[in-house]
Amino acid sequence: MRGFLTLCGMLAVIALGYWAYHQAILTQQAERRVERLQAEIGAERERMAILTAEWAYLNRPDRLRELGFINFERLGLLPMSPEQFGRATQIPYPQPVIETTEPEVILDSASIGEEQIP
């Protein structure tokens, strides 16, 4: 009996050792995956910063004004004037919906079945 318990104990230790080793390997793989994703996130943030800087450079008012002058005849652009803008009172806002409840009709038991004579 003692030998059987010793054998079971050894098998349990081996199984737990294998499980712990397997979990350690899975943890290392997950850590590598997280590091790779963090590097990708950093690269994408750097790319976004570059694209934002390029967008700001391309949307400079003096550059856009110059492009407007260069392409004036092809685009048919005109200078802006105050008459082109509307007022806030001209915006057609939707009317608020007011919920109404119809009054309940209460019938007397005496009036049911009786004909009403005008």
Domain that holds residue 63: 41-72
Residue 61 lies in a domain: yes
68 found inside a domain: yes
CA distances from 112 to 28, 79, 109 (A): 82, 77, 5
Give me the residue label for tokens 């949307």: 59
> Could you give the CA distance from residue 67 to residue 71 in angstroms, rounded to a whole number?
6
- Kindly report whether the global pTM for this prediction surpasses the value 0.75: no
Contact in structure between 44 and 37 (CB atoms under 8 Å): no
Question: 18 is written with which tokens?
Answer: 């294998």
Q: Report how many domains make up the chain.
A: 1
**Is 102 within a domain?**
no
Q: What is the pLDDT of residues 23-77, one digit of tens each?
A: 999 999 999 999 999 999 999 999 999 999 999 999 999 998 898 888 888 888 7
What would the pLDDT profile of 66-107 be if each residue is shown by its tens digit? 988 888 888 887 777 888 888 888 888 888 888 777 666 665
